[in-house]
Amino acid sequence: MKNRNKQLIIIPGILAAVTAFVLGCVVLLSIFPSSGHETVYDHPTPAMTTPAVPHNLVTIASNQWYSNIYAQFPTEPLYALPVAFQLAPEGLGVSLPDVHKTANSIFAPYITDLRVGFADSLQKPVIQSIGDWSIQLAMATAEHESLQFTLAHGAPFTVLRVTGSTLQLSCDVTCQVYLDNTQLLAPGVATTAQALSVVIRGHTYILSLNTAIPVQLSGNTLTLHGAQRVYLAALPSRASYSQFKEDASTEIMGTMATPEIRGTKLFTSYSLATSGPAPLIALYPHQRENLADRLPVLGSYTTIRGTMTLVQTHAFTTALPLQRPATDFSALKTVPPDLASALPSDIQNFIATGPPGSKDYFLGVWFGRGTDLLQLAHALGLHDQEQRLLKFMEPVFMQSMGYFRYDASKTSTIATSPEFGNENLNDHHFHYGYFIRTAAVLAQLDPSYLAQVQTPIKQMVADVGTYNRGSSQFPYLRNFDVYEGHSWA
């Protein structure tokens, strides 16, 4: 995953990506009908020894917002907006990224406001469970002091389960700590508290404890003696303190998004399993603007992806009109003379030049170019050129299917001669998208070709976007971020 890290620069994503994904499957499956269950095809098919789970916990390279946790420690910032986090030996870093705009750019750097940990260093985190847009983590010191917590898109809070006598919360710069958001806590004064607010860089955080415990502020470090459960949230404003305090008994245990096509609309139901009342969560603009049923807005956060609105709910549903993608180029009533003369020449040059020496990305690009020429020839009614190009591409494409093999250790289909980090699962949805589209067009123009390509192409489809939650061979929606509505590259 190409993490944009400390200066997250993005092109805003929209929920239309969800529609494109679901409808892309619909179009593809209309050409390659499902057999009713997922099968991986390889030579030979590896034994299925990994238990079928909704999200595979095996440490694999993949493309999700949390993937960096597997790769390095300290991690890069994890933008689970509206809050961002960083995991390090010093503890869990928390940031509320401020948005900066110029005439030509927009960025929101991760700057640590708070860090929660112990006097001893924490070791690399372990991912204990994975939801559709949430992860549960555990971090421990060599002395077995530990933190267990959940991070989730849209959740401005996390709940820290603490094992250890003394928890430390350190401010990155000078901060003010208030007892129950009212009385300023003086440095060096020991007192007892069950709820506090911390103000730093204009941001306000709440700490709500399951019971009153001794606390003390020394410099920029707040020490909590005997903390067992800490609800930590970034507030949209200090005025939201009471609202979050009332919700502090809840904890996110899991998340799931379920898409369903009904009539002319795509409905996506998002649900959060919690240990208590409905959580306070923040919706992206594409979610709020397409809610099937409106929810009261309780506040807002300014983020690099737009204004996120605060709501309180266990579930919400979005509804989008179906936008079925075109499967070919529309026939032209009048063919421009330059196009009519250039296309046969381009087809001739394409055939004469032949495929590149590549067996992965650049070969896919070449197939994409040929597929464009095929569809243009079909749209212009150039039957002879279409058939000539079709017969040229079919055997080359079939041969290319032998350039990819399933690797059980990576739960992925890998190119035998990889390019651009294919062996590290980089950009598979780009690489394999060329091959998937080419197979669909070839089979559309020559239905007899379907039987030859259906098996390996189904494997590519499963690699980049299986929707089978029970698969132990490919992770569910490998790189599609169901909450943000886009794929990670």
Residue 193 lies in a domain: yes
Could you tell me if 71 and 214 lie in one domain?
yes
Residue 168 lies in a domain: yes
Could you tell me if 161 and 267 lie in one domain?
no
**SS (HEC) of 164-215:** CCEEEEEECCCCEEEECCCEECCCCCCEEEEEEEEEECCEEEEEEEEEEEEE
Domains: count for the chain: 2
Entry pTM: 0.84
Q: What is the pLDDT of residue 57?
A: 61
Could you tell me if 268 and 148 lie in one domain?
no
Residue 84 lies in a domain: yes
Residue 215 lies in a domain: yes
Could you tell me if 278 and 194 lie in one domain?
no
Residue 99 lies in a domain: yes
Domain boundary (232, 263, 292) is at 232
Provide the CA 175 distance to its chain's centre, in angstroms: 33
Could you tell me if 198 and 300 lie in one domain?
no
Residue 409 lies in a domain: no
Could you tell me if 277 and 196 lie in one domain?
no
Could you tell me if 217 and 257 lie in one domain?
no
CATH number at residue 98: 2.70.98.30
Residues of the chain short of pLDDT 50, as ranges, are 1-53
Could you tell me if 146 and 270 lie in one domain?
no
Q: What is the pLDDT of residue 24?
A: 40
Q: What is the pLDDT of residue 324?
A: 86
Domain boundary (232, 261, 282) is at 232
**SS (HEC) of 405-470:** EEEHHHCEEEECCCCCCHHHCCCHHHHHHHHHHHHHHHHHHCHHHHHHHHHHHHHHHHHHHCCCCC
Q: What is the pLDDT of residue 101?
A: 93
Could you tell me if 157 and 82 lie in one domain?
yes
- Whose tokens are 């699962």? That residue is 425
**Host domain of residue 184:** 58-232
Could you tell me if 171 and 305 lie in one domain?
no
Could you tell me if 225 and 150 lie in one domain?
yes
**pLDDT tens digit string along 241-294?**
999 999 999 999 999 999 999 999 999 999 999 999 999 999 999 999 999 999
Could you tell me if 224 and 80 lie in one domain?
yes
